[in-house]
Amino acid sequence: MILGICGNIGAGKSSLTSLLEETLGFRGVYEAVDENPFLEDFYSNMERWAFHSQLFFLIKRFDFLKRVVTEGAVILQDRTIYEDVEIFARNLKLMGYIDERDWRLYLDTYETLSEHLTAPDGIVYIKCTKNVLLKRIKKRGRGFESGVSEDYIERLNGLYEEWIGRVTFCRKLIIDGDKYDFVENAQDREDVLRLISRFTAELMAGVQSKLFSR
């Protein structure tokens, strides 16, 4: 079973993925941030490197989905391929950093790959306001993220809200990332683990029901 961990930059996706690995025994597959050779250049010059960076993430995400073996395990995907397309790449297109020709190539690549996609059985969306995201981005101290603007984060948040409202391909759980600080607060951590444990149990029951009905 695949569980997508979704959210904006700084929402705590990797921290939640790690927490679920340690406490519930799930298996995490993390976003290839450190592997992306274009990412640092992207943050310093978005217009020049937007297309390259997004195409890299798209291909890496598909490579994960192609190779993953889900039998008998809960696989956590730190950000989904749908977020790459519907939020990050789309935002760069709307900002004029990806031109029409490159956008068509990007979408054509995605549509070709999507024929072979394994959709997640469920997604956990960590919803945070702009100020909380900016605070967490600053706290984790990734140098290449230091120039991320409030407007950029706000635009991504808007696209996330639009996208999560349209998600119908799987079940979804929305975690209030402003309310629950599962990194620093022990009680919040327990509450979030309880919510996700219940959610995944329901998903597993649904997956097993489908298998037995075949």
| Active-site hit among 34, 41, 63, 78 | 78
137 is in an annotated binding site: yes
Distances (CA, A) of 61 to 90, 118, 130, 172: 17, 11, 26, 20
Q: Is 110 annotated as a binding residue?
A: no
53 is in an annotated binding site: no
Of 177, 208, 193, 204, the residue nearest 24 (C-alpha): 193
The verdict on whether residue 14 carries a ligand-binding annotation is: yes
Which DSSP state fits 84?
A: I
123 closest CA partner among 6, 22, 39: 6
Least Cα distance to 32 among 8, 12, 6, 14 occurs for: 14
The annotation status of 79 as a binding-site residue, yes or no, is: yes
State yes or no: 151 annotated in a binding site: no
For the question of residue 78 being annotated catalytic, the response is yes
Is position 84 annotated in a ligand binding site? yes
Has 8 been labeled as part of a binding site?
yes
Strand duo 75-78 + 27-29: pairing: parallel
145 is in an annotated binding site: yes
Tell me the C-alpha distance between 20 and 1, whole Å.
14
- Give the residue numbers of the binding site for ATP: 7-15, 136-140
- Give the residue numbers of the binding site for substrate: 31, 43, 54, 79, 84, 145
- What amino acid positions are annotated as catalytic residues? 78
- Give the residue numbers of the binding site: 7-15, 31, 43, 54, 79, 84, 136-140, 145
